Structure 1
Amino acid sequence: MSYKSDIEIAREAQKKPIQEIGEKLGIPSDHLLPYGHDKAKVSQAFIDSVQGNKTGKLVLVTAINPTPAGEGKTTTTVGLGDGLNRLGKKATVCIREASLGPNFGMKGGAAGGGRAQVVPMEDMNLHFTGDFHAITSAHSLLSAMIDNHIYWGNEQDIDVRRVVWRRVVDMNDRALRQINVSLGGVANGFPREGGFDITVASEVMAILCLARNLKDLEERLGAMIVAYRRDKTPVFCRDIKAEGAMTVLLKDAMQPNLVQTLENNPAFVHGGPFANIAHGCNSVIATNTALRLSDYVVTEAGFGADLGAEKFMNIKCRKAGLAPDCVVLVATVRAMKMNGGVAKADLGAENVAAVEEGCANLGRHIGNLKSFGVPVVVAINHFVTDTDAEVAAVKAYVETQGSEAVLSRHWEHGGEGAEALAQKVVEIAESGASQFAPLYRDEMPLFEKIETVAKRIYRADEVLADQKIRNQLKDWEAQGYGNLPVCMAKTQYSFTTDPNRRGAPTGHSVPVREVRLSAGAGFVVVVCGEIMTMPGLPSKPAAESIRLNDSGQIEGLF
């Protein structure tokens, strides 16, 4: 049996005008700023007007560690949102915007899949409403103003060896990771080393996703540390006088984007920090707005629960005063088999023993999520090759972990296929069972916070960090930054820092290569192992297959 591709299904969508989607949430059309007929930004004035509304239930969708077999976190998020609406709940989906780099690299798109998608798919995966361009431009403005400040006399006495503000571009371009700037003589400034990160790793992206409003945005931008003086005191963005102009560039990007699912239910798609090198969640302003307009908000956190969900709990919820009522942990039979040692080419054959062997990864995530005091339901994202015996093996295992697994067929049947999952989520969320609490206290020393995540979430024996890194953390504590949460930057493929170690490994260490203070966003980035803040393209990037067909339609986005 042949199935249509995601883009073919998305192209056939019977979309409604965006004003009708806004009406479902009670957003008047004059508070929608349309980008064409099928997407719009929601005005800040309307957002401000609903802040006193009662909040709905918050459901987080997360997953096991990614495998080449696929997990389907966004697909499940969208399917669950549609399923909740089918049950008569006013439900809104909140997901992140897609980055161009991964789209043209390995992913090829990030708007769900099958019958559980957010549309317009092509727009969302490409330029959308220009938010990422605005973030890149605001970041680049500050980069230019720093070097310009140094060129015109360096009033702040910046030590050019200690400029910590890197440049960004929304593309996977390994050639830019480490560069030399200001070459070419006196007219071009003072030569120094620099480098590029991908836009989704920018502190500006993190700030946009954590700021409550434009005033908060401007204050946070001003608090970013861009360099250090010769006396080693920090130079802030506000010292360069860039935060006002940056806010102007970000004015529209701060407003959440409203689109729709294939079943014409509302979805906010806003912000997109990477989960392995940033905090991996959509914007606080979108989530908060959706909670005040809906009975249920279904949101996701990037990659596996050891990264995205941990940061959702310890960073986003802590900063925004949020508390999830239920967590949905997505797994697939195929991924269990891969964790059990089966090669990707052999995943089609039934192998219950491999499924059982691979469930250790799932079990560890269940335990980790429960440690936050939040009830967990496992969603088995159904593939047509799954056998009854394999599904039964996953369900039986999850039961031994004190949770329940529900088979969900949203990819094939949309919201109807997710109704059983939706019913279980409602049952859990409305039971009031959630006793959410972050993993560590604000006042815990920074290195102890790193150890807490490494030992309790990754199950590492120790954290390896040289004295220079430990001293840096102590210096930041002395400067008043000790109460910040930590944002762990590590591979998404494993609990360890080795991407090849699947399952639920123990007896490993977490090496900390570097720490970065994101003073405006309000967290300390901890770079572990070989993780890169500027990814590269794979040997055969998705871009090779993306093109316009003879009808002018985009082909190659998955």
Structure 2
Amino acid sequence: MSHKTDIEIARAANKKPIQEIGQKLGIPTEHLLPYGHDKAKVGQEFINELESRPDGKLILVTAINPTPAGEGKTTTTVGLGDGLNAIGKKAAIAIREASLGPNFGMKGGAAGGGYAQVVPMEDMNLHFTGDFHAITSAHNLLSAMIDNHIYWGNSLEIDERRITWRRVMDMNDRALRDMVVGLGGVSNGFARQTGFDITVASEVMAILCLAQDLDDLQQRLGDIIVAYTRERTPITCRQIGADGAMTVLLRDAMQPNLVQTLENNPAFVHGGPFANIAHGCNSLIATRTALKLADYVVTEAGFGADLGAEKFMNIKCRKGGIAPSVVVLVATVRAMKMNGGVAKEDLGTENVEAVRAGCANLGRHIENMKSFGVPVVVAINHFVTDTEAEVEAIKAYVAEHGSEAILARHWAEGSAGITELATRVAEIADKDSAHFAPLYADDMGLFAKIETIAKRIYRADEVLADKKIRDQLRAWEEAGFGHLPICMAKTQYSFSTDPSLRGAPTGHSVPVREVRLSAGAGFVVVICGEIMTMPGLPSKPAAMSIGLNAAGEVEGLF
């Protein structure tokens, strides 16, 4: 058993030139735009030519509600992609890009772990191909043009108190959450209150991840509502005149990135909206490109299935005309114990009772995923401390819930440790037994959609929303936005809006604090409980231990 760190394993990888990885999928070299030797963008022209090809099978990897013990969703996604290739299938993976903020904070990177990783790990967790910088620039260009419009006479009659477009930065920086801009007198414009969000929370990020092509991208950017007049008339990005220039800044960022796993299998890494405040899935263009080029595509949705997977089904699949053939739900013995009431420091001790007690959370997610008409397999992501009795307890519980659980050792063994799961997932996908349907119809009212998610996914008794919020939803319906899906912003740690409520709570209420219209992305964001759109750094940020070693290599990323 190796005790190498993720970054040491990644550094020792035997990478192949990216052109060879492209060849595995039949991408001609001239349609790969290389960024160095080990990463490339897939050209838009080539993507356009794939339209008439049939789609491969889509496999969604999701998880129970995250615990501090960690579930390993990305690791399982990467491992399963490698596993499918190892059993002779033509498979690719499609995951999100990592945000710089969490990398230097406490969450770490987003490239998998152990022997199930995507490389180059350092690049992916740092600037990669510059997509997030492009999104940051496009977003802030619009911010600058709004204040500039007001400075030069405000012909659109924007009410400065009703500017909804904030600024963004790809860094955890709590000092920027709430601030005043425009101080310093006449030449600096008008003072007003605003703030920064993290780039992954930007509507531009969500738009990039849902747009079909550059024309669709520009259309959606133009539709962004940035402010209101005193009469409450919405002002859009198109009226400010920023949509064309923003599209130019995003032209290259729209093209999906191709990299490789440790076992030299193709990986599309593109886009990265947060899953507790945005829709938490990689880009539609990357997923659809992968589906045209591979027979099986393994993709993941952020956080627990109550957030990422629900949005994957109700937003991404609905908007993109795609549907999963099977859902893989990742769980760990450690997380079951934690849900069963065991403290983090005691997770290494065998406790079959606690495992059983904690399985309620898993059972709820299995039922929820099946309600979308898709078969579910549970992947038990193996940790060294797991005992046979604990693993068997999960398997037995899952069998009682009409599903099956398979132990996966990809973290320690790479594809060899996940062939059983890969074989079973491929069998189920090939059966075509999925009858996918979203949870609610487009024409259901906005508040009814919120209630449907709260009652059917979170198992809440009621949604608490005051008159102001209900009136706002009705006004949007009258303005022609009633058909939009809902994007719930809530804690990832619980089915409820209380992060400390573990397991499978019932009888709770979902308080709606605020609703925001993302007219460009094409959804209504519903903010429940306390949710941060700009994280802060912990007392000892990961950045303190990141640096270059004597050989000029990056150390300390995880």
TM range (shorter): over 0.9
State which drifts further: 548-557 or 110-119.
548-557
Distance 1:220 1:90 in 2: 34
Deviation string 1:411-465 (CA, Å, 9 cap, x unpaired) is 0111111110001101111111101000001011101111111111111111111
Q: Give the aligned partner of residue 470 of structure 2.
A: 470
- The residue type equivalent to 2:219 in the other structure is E
8 Å Cα contact 2:2-2:412 kept in structure 1: no
Aligned residues: 558
1:444 paired to 2:444: yes
Quick one: percent identity of the two aligned structures?
79
> Secondary structure at the residue paired with 1:171?
coil
1:406 aligned onto 2:423: no
Aligned to 2:309: 309
Cα deviation digits, residues 283-305 of structure 1 (max 9, x gap) = 00000000000000000000000
Q: Given that residues 65 and 303 in structure 1 are in contact (C-alpha distance below 8 angstroms), is that contact kept between their aligned partners in structure 2?
A: yes
SS in structure 1 at match of 2:37: coil
Contact 2:163–2:228 (CA under 8 A) maintained in structure 1:
yes
| Distance in 1, Cα, partners of 2:281 & 2:55 | 19
**Aligned twin of 1:145:** 145
User: Does residue 1:344 correspond to 2:341, yes or no?
Assistant: no
Deviation at 1:230, TM superposition (A): 1.7
> 1:74 and 1:220 mapped to 2: Cα distance?
29
Aligned to 2:495: 495
List gaps (5 residues or longer) in structure 2: none
Task: Name 2:247's counterpart in structure 1.
Answer: 247
- Give me the whole-angstrom Cα distance separating, in 2, the residues matched to 1:166 and 1:160: 12
Inter-partner Cα distance in structure 1 for 2:547 and 2:67 = 27
The corresponding residue for 2:199 is 199
What's the secondary structure of 1:430's corresponding residue?
Answer: helix
Q: Distance in 1 between matches of 2:486 and 2:108?
A: 30
Secondary structure in 1 matching 2:279: coil
Q: Partner of 1:88: helix, strand, or coil?
A: coil
Amino acid at match of 2:281: C
1:545 equivalent in structure 2: 545
CA-CA distance at 1:540 after TM superposition: 2.0
The equivalent of 1:425 in structure 2 is: 425
Q: Which deviates more, 172-181 or 69-78?
A: 172-181
Q: 1:176-228: CA deviations, max 9, x gaps? A: 11111111111111111111111001000000000000000000000000000
Aligned residue identity for 2:122: E
- Rounded to whole Å, the distance in 1 between the matches of 2:395 and 2:217 is 45
What is aligned with 2:112? 112
Partner SS, residue 488 of structure 1: strand
The answer for the alignment partner of 2:215 in structure 1 is 215
Aligned counterpart, 2:328: 328
- Specify the alignment match of 2:525 in structure 1: 525
Q: CA deviation at 1:551?
A: 1.8
- The 1:52–1:99 alpha-carbon spacing in structure 2 relative to 1, beyond 3 Å, is same
Deviation at 1:541, TM superposition (A): 1.7
* Contact 2:276–2:307 under 8 Å retained in 1: yes
Tell me how far 1:487 sits from its aligned partner: 0.3
Between the aligned partners of 2:64 and 2:555, the Cα distance in structure 1 is 30
TM-score, scaled to structure 1: 0.99
Which residue of structure 2 aligns with residue 169 of structure 1?
Answer: 169
Counterparts in 2 of 1:53-92, with a 5 A limit? 53-92=53-92
Please show how residues 118-129 of structure 1 align to structure 2 within 5 Å: 118-129=118-129
Measured in 2, the distance between the counterparts of 1:335 and 1:504 equals 14
Contact 1:57 1:291 survives alignment (8 Å): yes
Partner-residue secondary structure (3-state), 2:307: helix
In structure 2, give the amino acid aligned to 1:487.
C
- String of CA shifts for 1:313-368, please: whole Å, max 9, x gaps: 00000000111000000000000000000011001110000000000000000011
The separation in 2 between residues aligned to 1:293 and 1:440, in whole angstroms, is 31
Deviations 1:389-413 (A, max 9, x none): 0000000000011000000010011
Displacement of 1:2 in angstroms is 5.4
TM-score by length of structure 2 reads 0.99
Preserved CA contact (<8 Å) 1:108 1:556: no
Deviation digits for residues 86-120 of structure 1, max 9, x if unmatched?
Answer: 11111000000000111111122110000000000
- Deviations along 1:479-512, whole A, 9 cap, x unmatched? 0000000100011011111111111111211111
**Kept in 2: contact 1:361–1:503 (CA 8 A):** yes
Residues 257-296 of structure 1: matches in 2 within 5 Å?
Answer: 257-296=257-296
- For the pair 1:37 / 2:37, whether they are aligned, the reply is yes
Q: Distance in 1 between matches of 2:108 and 2:54?
A: 38
Residue-by-residue CA offset, 1:210-263 (whole Å, 9 max, x unaligned): 000000000000000000012111101000010000000000000000000000
Counterpart of 1:236 in structure 2 is: 236
1:5 & 1:212 partners in 2: Cα distance? Answer: 38
* Match of residue 454 from structure 1: 454
Whole-angstrom distance in 2 between the partners of 1:448 and 1:156? 34
Whether the 8 Å CA contact 2:91–2:294 is kept in 1: the answer is yes
Per the TM alignment, residue 539 of structure 1 is displaced from its structure 2 partner at its CA by 2.2
Q: Give the residue type in structure 1 aligned to 2:14.
A: Q
Does the residue aligned with 2:246 lie in a helix, a strand or coil? helix
For 1:176 and 1:470, how far apart are their aligned partners in 2? 30
Give the whole-Å Cα distance in 2 for the aligned partners of 1:268 and 1:496: 33
Q: Which runs of 4+ in 1 moved over 6 A?
A: none
RMSD: 0.7
Per-residue deviation, residues 153-174 of structure 1 (Å, max 9, x unmatched): 1111101111010111111111
Q: Which amino acid aligns with 2:322?
A: L
Q: Secondary structure at the match of 1:197?
A: strand
Q: CA deviation at 1:544?
A: 1.6
How does 1:93-108 map onto structure 2 within 5 Å? 93-108=93-108
Q: Distance in 1 between matches of 2:510 and 2:290?
A: 37
Q: Whole-Å Cα distance in 1 between the matches of residues 195 and 478 of structure 2? A: 28
Letter in 2 for 1:447: F
